[in-house]
Amino acid sequence: MTYAIEATGLVKRYGDVTALNGVDLAVPAGSVLGVLGPNGAGKTTAVRILATLLRPDAGTARIGGYDLRRQAHEIRLIIGLAGQYASVDEDLSGLHNLTMVGRLLGLPRAEARRRADDLLAEMDLADAGGRSVKTYSGGMRRRLDLAASLVNRPAVLFLDEPTSGLDPAKRNDMWASIRALANQGSTVLLTTQYLEEADHLADDIVVIDAGRVVAQGSPGDLKRRAGTQTLDIRLVDPSRTAEAAALVAAVVGVEPARHRTAGHLSVPVTGGALMPAVIRRIDDAGVEVAELALRLPSLDDVFLALTGHTARTLEGTTT
Amino acid sequence: MNVTATQGLRQCLELSWRCIVKIRRNPLVLADVLIGPAVFLVLFVYVFGGAIQGSAQDYLDYMVPGVLGLTTLLATMGVGVSLNTDLEKGVFDRLRSLPIWRAAPLIGAIGGDMVRQVVAIAALLGFGTLLGFRVRTDAWSVLAACGLAIAFALAFSWVWVLLALVMKDPQSVQGLGALLIFPLSFASNIFVDPATMPGWLQGFVAINPVRHLMDAIRGLMLDGPVARPLLWTVLWMAGVVLVFVPLALAAYRRRA
């Protein structure tokens, strides 16, 4: 199998903080890899390294067969990068942002213009093309940023949290655009904090936490391990938590996670039939339940299921 | 080197052009270089002129070349601010992810700032003439003086590039830059003859590159000696470039 992205042992330190602590990645050409992790897990650092913006302290990588350290220029010819923060010039129009990228890539003026017009149309921005990017909505900026990363028709596309901060409708539009790109044969590496997003778009998922790969597999694999839903149970009497946990484990077959707030348990479940069974067992034992809820698993639940601990979120940092 | 010289040059021009497009979209960004020279002239000539030189008219002749040097120096601030804004907003990341000459974003920012230089000079000479300033040489000498001021500003821009790359936000770039420009401009002969300054300060003025630039510009516009100050100015420009270009490029690589 040929890999479009192949990384071994990537390490990046910022002073005492280790942002990446030996990350290996292998993305087959034409596939979509979802890099899933909480804030501060090292997702952005990994993308910046692979997109030649940051030098790793250790480790090697090949993008499209080119060596990251020695052939950065060749890599830049074949990659596209759309960042978490829309990296377009907000004082220029959308059209000029795109023609400028085309010109910098060496396209003749007319061709750069044509490519920009095509991309604006493709991203549903044709009407806004002449306007200053300052006037764009968050979703429009993201689409323009994505368009700017596509001018060179990249074989490998890096998308760093392409939908963070977008409302659900805009997010679905973005998903459609990304899927269309993948269908055209681009290799895509996208980072996300949402299991649902990775599930939707990725062929394979790598879960990273605190700079390390903690799990990887197909979305199906990971979901099986995390359950398709999470059952939340709050007890009236927190002193009976251990007893209730044992009862739940006996029914579901998985030890439930205990939250910091006493008397609160969560357990991954697959299939609706388990919920009544759990209720019956707890009820039979005379343990009173204050609240019972079935919900989609959050990233925390996935982490709990995959790693046995909750995600170590570094608030406010995106490394 | 993966980019040919022609490609690299074209990329620099494209990135400079970006700055010009921004000015066309929002001409207000020229306000400082357009109005600044007029404000400086009026304030200095009519507030201090009588006290410093005895007559405002004599001081006007002294100050028009002085403000020429000052405004081109101040206009270089645009390089630092626009570069740092690009860094902060992520535009720089986009540029650096493209297969272009590594230095193109830096040189593009300096090139784009040239427009501000030219506007500043035109505004200054126009307003100065309006107030009654007359050149004592010829048009070629004036052109040479303007060219020298711009060349000096180009060299000095690399200081701003370095500041932009090492500072966190545009405000701190501006703050630190102002701290640098004030002593360079005030402790020189831009505003007054340094003869009344204490000895230690005269020592600084003697080596201050701005002082040599001023001597050369005044020589060219008011028919004074040119060769010696010109030589010193060029030497200083070469020195600034030799020191700050490598420093800026090193900071650029470290950020990468």
Most confidently predicted of A142-151, A250-259, A281-290: A142-151
Q: Give A228-296's CATH code, choosing from 1.10.3720.10, 3.30.1490.20, 3.30.70.920, 3.30.390.30.
A: 3.30.70.920
From the list A58, A32, A59, the residue with the least C-alpha distance to A206 is A32
Q: What pLDDT sits at residue A46?
A: 95
> In chain B, what are the domain boundaries?
5-255
From the list A268, A316, A298, the residue with the least C-alpha distance to A193 is A298
Who among B2, B26, B89 is closest to A73 (CB)?
B2
> In chain A, what are the domain boundaries?
3-216, 228-296
B226 touches B219 (CB < 8 A) = yes
Q: What pLDDT sits at residue A76?
A: 95
Q: What pLDDT sits at residue A157?
A: 96
pLDDT digits (tens, 9 = 90+) for A140-193: 999 999 999 999 999 999 999 998 878 888 888 889 989 998 999 899 999 998
Residue labelled with tokens 């390490």: A11
Phi, psi (rounded to 5 degrees) for A30 = 85, 0
| Total beta-carbon pairs less than 8 A apart between chain A and chain B | 75
Distance of residue A21 Cα from the nearest chain B Cα, in angstroms: 19
- The tokens for B211 are 């002082």
Q: What pLDDT sits at residue A319?
A: 37
Distance of residue B106 Cα from the nearest chain A Cα, in angstroms: 14
Interface of A with B in 128-187 (CB under 8 A): 132, 148-149, 152
Q: What pLDDT sits at residue B240?
A: 96
d(CA A250, CA A253): 6
First to last CA, chain B: 17
Which residue type is seen at A101? V
In degrees, rounded to 5, the angle at the alpha carbon of residue B203 between the alpha carbons of residues B197 and B209 is 105
Q: What pLDDT sits at residue B33?
A: 87
Percent of chain A past pLDDT 90, that is, above it, reads 50
- Tell me the β-bridge partners of A5: A27, A63
A54–B256 C-beta distance less than 8 A: yes
A53–B93 C-beta distance less than 8 A: yes
Q: What pLDDT sits at residue A318?
A: 37
> Per residue of chain B (256 residues), what is the pLDDT tens digit?
578 999 999 999 999 999 989 888 888 888 888 898 999 899 888 888 888 877 788 889 899 999 999 998 988 988 999 899 998 888 999 999 999 999 999 999 999 999 889 999 999 999 999 998 988 999 999 999 999 999 999 999 999 999 999 998 888 998 998 899 999 999 999 988 888 899 999 999 999 999 999 999 999 999 999 999 999 999 999 999 999 999 999 999 887 6
Is residue A310 pLDDT above 80, yes or no? no
Mean pLDDT (chain A) is 87
Average pLDDT over residues A283-311: 75
The CATH superfamily of A3-216 is P-loop containing nucleotide triphosphate hydrolases (3.40.50.300)
Interface test with A, best of B3, B21, B98 (most A CBs within 10 A): B98
For chain A, where are the alpha helices, taking DSSP H only? 43-50, 72-78, 94-104, 109-122, 138-148, 168-183, 195-201, 219-226, 241-252, 274-284, 299-307
Average pLDDT over residues A67-75: 95
Q: What pLDDT sits at residue A34?
A: 95
Phi, psi (rounded to 5 degrees) for A130 = -85, -10
